[in-house]
């Protein structure tokens, strides 16, 4: 690591949220450009920066700062230059000169320890002196905080977040108990545990055990979708994770229950342990749906039949009996579910309900979990549909990473009917927030396919609601004539019944290419994307073709396929802009995906006319700008522009190939999927069903027919611990 010492001559760019800075520094008579996380840096300061030199093709040689330290000025001229830089409120060059003339070399000591003496300077009141003191102490304190965290390889970005959350006492708090930092977004248990180890705190340090238990429960929620774990399972996992004794884990669980952070609920033959967040969400959803299911409206069926006939005349579509029953149910029930596979007429039912309700003067809101699902809902209904987050008006949050909604129990939605599509993707936390914001007068119509994979987040909401039989549910099974013409739809239903799909009719849309070698299989997929499908069908290689795979790892996994597909579809060009993060290279035009929910990330649309916050796990977009000077990369998601700083690029990944789980809620013109050996838990019928129902126009499977048969035959569904069904049944 190299070192550069000099004076800040000018700050070119600074992000106040995290301190990412581009500045010019003079050293030994030369001017250098520095980039990195240097929060609160001001002209006139002297710093020592540690990092490495990098040559930029457009901006020349730059010093990439990994760590830095402020060096406080010592001579009177240095102090005057420092104070006159504008670093402190109410102090310009003229006032700086007066302060130094009055106090000399002791000027900074006077500001820190005797700030009232600043009132001796003409023009500085007591109020101004207090503001000068407060800002100066913040500068000194932030410097000490950043230096403290640098010992543990914690970035200045995270250090600033910790400071904003806990204030100037954060060093003392973190020294006593580094696990308090888990309240700050970005400070994982792993980071805090590393700090704990370097502080030589014992493994059975009680706050470590508390934090580790909660981390196990959180990981089980976000990685496996569990809202709780059986107590024996939790204790066993935490024992291995923390490397402490069983009785220490059990005692800590009891403590956390007493403190109200964990909830224990007796199931049939075991104790279920919840984080309070998930228990409250399950209980809230169950209570509201039970209340709604008990509210039945008296409706004149003959009158409703006339409304249906009128809607049929306007649209030219005649409803089947099951579809009519769904429309009747929408009028008669406060809450209901419409579920069925592709081609069973869910969209026709939604449009009929909208047609009739609008004619009656009812206000209707449409929502879906993802941007792509909402966009598709808008296209097929002719009404604007919003993501659930946008409907609820998600609010930026400092530090914690939690999401807050402007629409809630105190500021509810203004609608008579709320229709939510792709309900299989809605997790328990989002469902609870949605129901809190729904007025009691409103009807809720939940639409989805319960045979698809469950939500990425915690819970099994749609399946639990249906299985509880506590909410009116219309199950659609008939495939309509137009849908029968597509082998994609026919095969989806065949797979769902455990039957092998029909493949390779030259006049249809579902194909299977045989391939027994994994390396050749990957090359075949790349050739299909780049050459064969675009030439035969006219689809764009990047925007219209999507490779879906069951796994992230192995030769047919996301990581391997993305590297290959990027090289084939968007190869590096001489002098082309690129950004590197964690070994992944992003280029202009790359297809990328957001890999975590970021409720604070800002977006703009229509040239900045519309603004908002929130980019979500699974959103797919394209790299449209890379700015080396500002160290930013811009991704466009369905017209929404999102600017990422280079330090945030771990939040996105290449998306030429994505897992089937991440594809939920999306539709693609073409889906290509490898059929090759992987973990048995991933070779399931509902995963294959989910994958092929993402395709609108063409499915191509590449690999072994015996692997396809394994997918079709394996109807095992991975266990997902969820208590919503039981809470819905209990009266």
Nearest-angstrom CA–CA distance, 629 and 632: 8
Measured distance CA(338)–CA(447) in Å, rounded: 5
- pLDDT for 396 equals 64
On the question of pLDDT at 478 being above 60, the answer is yes
Res 728: pLDDT: 95
The pLDDT of residue 677 is 85
Model confidence over 552-588: pLDDT tens digits? 888 889 999 999 999 999 998 887 888 888 778 999 9
- Residue 679 has a pLDDT of 78
What residues are paired with 34 via a beta bridge?
Answer: 23, 63
pLDDT confidence of 481, banded at 50, 70, 90? Answer: low
Q: Which of 129, 128, 100, 96 is nearest to 114 (CA)?
A: 129
Residue 42 predicted with pLDDT over 70: yes
- How confident is the prediction for the chain on average, in pLDDT? 89
Question: How much of the chain exceeds pLDDT 90, in percent?
Answer: 57
User: What average pLDDT does this structure show over 99-111?
Assistant: 92
> Residue 101: pLDDT above 90?
yes
Q: What whole-number distance in Å separates Cα of residue 692 and Cα of residue 503?
A: 13
Buried b (16+ CB within 10 A) or exposed e, 387-412: bbbebbbbeeeebebebebebeeeee
Which residue did the predictor score with more confidence, 451 or 275?
275
Q: What is the pTM of this model?
A: 0.79
Radius of gyration of the chain (CA): 30
618 within 8 A of 637, measured Cβ to Cβ: no
pLDDT one-digit tens code per residue, 347-406: 999 999 999 999 889 999 999 998 888 888 999 999 999 999 999 998 766 544 567 899
Given a cut of 70, whether residue 17 has pLDDT beyond it is no
Binning pLDDT at 50, 70 and 90, where does residue 655 land?
A: very high
Average pLDDT value for residue range 421-428:
94
- Give residue 18's pLDDT band: very low, low, confident or very high (50, 70, 90): low
Instruction: Please say if the pLDDT value at position 150 is more than 50.
Output: yes
Minimum mean pLDDT among 152-156, 219-223, 304-308: which range?
152-156
Look at residue 397 in the predicted model and tell me its pLDDT.
61
At residue 385, the pLDDT reads 93
pLDDT score recorded for residue 208: 97
Mean pLDDT of the region 152-179: 86
Q: Length of the chain in residues, anyone?
A: 731
Weakest mean pLDDT among 91-105, 387-401, 410-424, 515-529: 387-401
Residue 731 confidence (pLDDT) above 70: no
Give the per-residue pLDDT at 616: 83
When pLDDT is cut at 50, 70 and 90, the band that residue 260 belongs to is very high
């Amino acid at each position: 690591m190299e070192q550069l010492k000099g004076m800040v001559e000018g700050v070119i760019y600074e992000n106040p949220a995290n301190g990412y800075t581009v500045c010019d520094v003079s050293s030994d008579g030369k001017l250098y450009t520095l980039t990195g996380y240097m929060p609160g840096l001001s002209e006139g300061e002297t710093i020592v920066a540690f990092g490495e030199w990098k040559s930029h093709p457009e901006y020349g040689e730059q010093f990439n700062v990994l760590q830095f330290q402020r060096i406080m000025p010592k001579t009177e001229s240095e102090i005057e230059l420092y104070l006159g830089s504008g670093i402190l409120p109410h102090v310009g060059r003229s006032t700086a000169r007066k302060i130094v003339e009055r106090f000399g070399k002791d000027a900074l000591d006077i500001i820190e320890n005797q700030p009232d003496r600043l009132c001796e300077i003409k023009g500085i009141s007591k109020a101004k002196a207090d503001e000068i003191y407060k800002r100066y102490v913040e500068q000194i304190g932030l410097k000490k905080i950043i230096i403290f965290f640098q010992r543990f390889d914690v970035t200045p970005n995270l250090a600033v977040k910790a400071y904003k959350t806990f204030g100037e006492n954060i060093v003392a708090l973190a020294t006593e108990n580094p696990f308090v930092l888990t309240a700050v977004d970005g400070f994982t248990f792993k980071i805090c545990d590393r700090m704990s180890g370097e502080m030589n705190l014992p493994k059975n340090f009680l706050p470590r055990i508390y934090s580790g238990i909660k981390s196990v429960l959180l990981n089980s929620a976000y990685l496996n979708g569990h809202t709780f774990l059986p107590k024996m399972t939790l204790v066993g996992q935490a024992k291995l994770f923390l490397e402490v004794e069983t009785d220490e884990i059990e005692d800590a669980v009891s403590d956390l229950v007493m403190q109200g952070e964990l909830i224990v609920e007796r199931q049939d033959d075991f104790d279920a342990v919840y984080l309070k967040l998930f228990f409250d969400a399950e209980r809230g959803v169950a209570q509201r749906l039970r209340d709604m299911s008990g509210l039945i409206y008296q409706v004149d069926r003959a009158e409703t039949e006339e409304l249906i006939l009128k809607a049929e005349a306007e649209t030219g579509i005649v409803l089947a009996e099951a579809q009519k029953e769904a429309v009747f149910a929408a009028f008669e029930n406060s809450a209901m579910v419409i579920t069925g596979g592709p081609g069973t007429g869910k969209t026709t039912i939604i449009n009929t309900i909208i047609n009739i309700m609008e004619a009656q003067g009812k206000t209707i809101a449409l929502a879906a979990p993802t941007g792509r699902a909402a966009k598709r809902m808008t296209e097929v209904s002719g009404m604007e549909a919003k993501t659930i987050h946008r409907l609820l008006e998600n609010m930026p949050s400092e530090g914690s990473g939690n999401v807050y909604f402007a629409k809630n129990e105190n500021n509810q939605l203004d609608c008579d009917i709320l229709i939510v599509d792709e309900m299989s993707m809605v997790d328990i936390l989002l469902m609870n927030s949605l129901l809190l914001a729904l007025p009691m007068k409103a009807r809720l119509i939940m639409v989805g396919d319960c045979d698809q994979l469950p939500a990425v987040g915690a819970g099994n909401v749609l399946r639990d609601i249906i299985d509880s039989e506590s909410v009116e549910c219309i199950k659609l099974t008939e495939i309509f004539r137009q849908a029968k013409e597509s082998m994609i739809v026919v095969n989806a239903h065949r797979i769902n019944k455990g039957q092998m799909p029909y493949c390779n009719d030259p006049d249809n849309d579902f194909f299977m290419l045989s391939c027994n070698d994994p390396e050749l299989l990957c090359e075949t997929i790349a050739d299909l994307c780049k050459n064969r499908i675009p030439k035969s069908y006219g689809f764009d290689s990047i925007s219209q073709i999507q490779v879906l795979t069951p796994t992230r790892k192995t030769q047919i996994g996301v990581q391997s396929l993305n590297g290959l597909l990027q090289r084939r579809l968007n190869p590096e060009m001489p002098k082309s802009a690129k950004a590197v993060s964690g070994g992944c290279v992003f280029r202009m035009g790359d297809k990328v995906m957001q890999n975590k929910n970021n409720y604070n990330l800002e977006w703009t649309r229509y040239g900045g006319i519309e603004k908002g916050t929130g980019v979500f796990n699974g959103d797919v977009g394209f790299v449209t700008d890379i700015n080396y000077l500002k160290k930013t990369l811009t991704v466009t998601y369905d017209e929404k522009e999102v600017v990422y700083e280079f330090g945030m690029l771990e939040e996105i990944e290449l998306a030429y190939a994505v897992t089937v789980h991440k594809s939920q809620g999306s539709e693609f013109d073409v889906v290509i999927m490898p059929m090759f050996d992987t973990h048995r838990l991933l070779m399931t019928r509902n995963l294959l069903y989910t994958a092929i129902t993402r395709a609108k126009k063409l499915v191509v499977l590449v690999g072994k027919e015996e692997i396809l048969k394994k997918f079709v035959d394996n109807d095992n569904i991975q266990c997902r611990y969820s208590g919503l069904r039981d809470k819905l049944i209990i009266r």
